[in-house]
Amino acid sequence: MLLRLRANTIWPAMHEVTVPFYFTKGNKEAADQYGIIIGTSHCGPLMRNSVNEWDIAGKGDYNYTTNKEAMLAYWTERLKELKSADNIYTIGLRGKHDGMMQGVRTLKEHKTVLSQVLKDQRELLKTYVNPDVTKIPQVFIPYKEVLDVYNDGMEVPEDITLIWCDDNYGYLKHFPTEKECARKGGNGVYYHISYWGRPHDYLWLSTNHPAQLYTQMKQAYDKGAKDMWIVNVGDLKPGEYLTELFLDMAWNINAIKNDVSGLDQHLKHWLTREFGSSNGQALLGVMNEYYRLAYIRKPEFMGATRTEEKDPKYKIVADLPWSETAIRERLKAYDVLSVQVMNLSKKYLWFKKIPGFNW
């Protein structure tokens, strides 16, 4: 699938419900065979998925200020396994799973420890991967609280690619400055079309608006973040179109015309290819309305609850401050969409080819 979409890199899933990539026999070999380069997320330094792997292969607390030698040994073990492999190495350190680094309390402490982490990790890369560390593909990802540390003046070696992130809702928090654009390592983007975390997650419906994705990534490209693009897809099934849109732009930024018709043409082409020419035009209107409604407020956010929330107020579904009129108009709009889709489905011939299927 990645090669079909002209992608060549994957950051394997990192959540607690996921088996770590290198723990599954054949994963590494399959990636090598197909030329897929493996990297790791913002909280998985030096090819480790620490949310699961540390509990199995680590010793003590995941705390660099109190357990440095154990963490160095933990990273060393993986680097030895992957010697001569084709990888992109994430450097830096966050918490064991998508949280702030353990053992630091102030911004100053955070910057001091993180700066030392980078130096120590680079020494490991010199020792176990390539004596010329500038020849090793590396990325530094100023995500969430790490962006505050970076903005406080933390220095990152010139040969490391800086990967800029969105705010978890599809808006990039930083575009490269002139100085950052001049870096040898260049700049890239890490972008979400699926997100798990506070305060709200969106995982199952793929509700990012294509126009939002397009405008953000076009700005990123125009402002110099063009060396590496990573999209967080999560559950692929509802996100096929946005994934392809992202990768079409990554392959050729001019794949979509930069005018009001460009996105419609791209989406219509995709719908026609997947569902036939007779359905393409009708589905274009359906999908545009679906994205419009979701952009007003994602369906996943309608309960006014929050993810991983300690305050009991936000654990209970509550009314939103919407008028009765607005509520009824929204429900009616979704009803109209539902009817349109059901009518199109009845005409879609492949249903009739399924043995035993009775519409």
Query: What string of DSSP letters covers 231-252?
Result: EE-SSSGGGHHHHHHHHHHHH-
**Is the pLDDT assigned to residue 240 strictly greater than 70?**
yes
Q: Find the mean pLDDT for residues 7-24.
A: 90
Two tokens, residue 247: 């990768």
Give the separation between CA 185 and CA 230, rounded to whole angstroms.
16
Are residues 89 and 136 in contact, defined by beta-carbon separation less than 8 angstroms?
yes
**Is the pLDDT assigned to residue 354 strictly greater than 60?**
no
* Backbone angles phi and psi of 358, in degrees to 5: -130, 105
How many residues belong to the chain? Answer: 359
Are residues 188 and 241 in contact, defined by beta-carbon separation less than 8 angstroms?
no
DSSP 14-69: -STTS--GGGSTTHHHHHHHHTPEE---TT-GGG--HHHHHHHH--S-S-TTT-HH
Two tokens, residue 309: 């929330």
Percentage of the residues of the chain whose pLDDT score is greater than 90: 75
Where is 208: in which H helix or E strand? none
- From its phi and psi, is residue 136 left (phi > 0), alpha (psi between -120 and 50) or beta? beta
Pairing of strands 161-165, 187-192: parallel
Cross-strand bridge partners of residue 192 = 232
Are residues 190 and 163 in contact, defined by beta-carbon separation less than 8 angstroms?
yes
Distance of CA 174 to the CA centre of its chain: 16
Give the separation between CA 65 and CA 75, rounded to whole angstroms.
16
Are residues 244 and 274 in contact, defined by beta-carbon separation less than 8 angstroms?
no
Amino acid occupying residue 324? E
**Is the pLDDT assigned to residue 355 strictly greater than 80?**
no
3-state SS of 94-144 is: CCCCCCCCCCCCCHHHHHHHHHHHHHHHHHHHHHHCCCCHHHCCEEECCCC
Give pLDDT tens digits for 291-329.
Answer: 999 999 999 888 888 888 888 888 888 888 889 999 999
**Is the pLDDT assigned to residue 350 strictly greater than 60?**
no
* Four-CA torsion 25, 28, 34, 35, nearest 10 degrees: 180
Cβ atoms within 10 Å of 62's Cβ, excluding its own: 21
Per-chain mean pLDDT for the chain? 92
Cross-strand bridge partners of residue 139 = 90, 161
Cross-strand bridge partners of residue 229 = 189
Give the separation between CA 316 and CA 307, rounded to whole angstroms.
11
DSSP secondary-structure letter at 80?
A: H
**Is the pLDDT assigned to residue 195 strictly greater than 60?**
yes
Give pLDDT tens digits for 156-191.
Answer: 999 999 999 999 999 999 999 999 999 999 999 999
Place of tokens 């607005």: 326
**Is the pLDDT assigned to residue 225 strictly greater than 90?**
yes
- How are strands ordered across the β-sheet holding 161-165? 89-91, 138-140, 161-165, 187-192, 228-232
Q: Which domains does the chain have, with CATH numbers?
A: 9-256 (3.20.20.520), 278-353 (no CATH)
Q: What local confidence, expressed as pLDDT, does residue 349 receive?
A: 54
Q: Is 69 helix (H, G, I), strand (E, B) or coil?
A: helix
Give 333's pLDDT tier (boundaries 50, 70, 90). very high
Give pLDDT tens digits for 19-73.
Answer: 899 999 999 999 999 999 999 999 899 999 988 899 999 999 999 999 999 999 9
Give pLDDT tens digits for 94-141.
Answer: 998 788 999 999 999 999 999 999 999 999 999 999 999 999 999 999
Q: What local confidence, expressed as pLDDT, does residue 122 receive?
A: 98
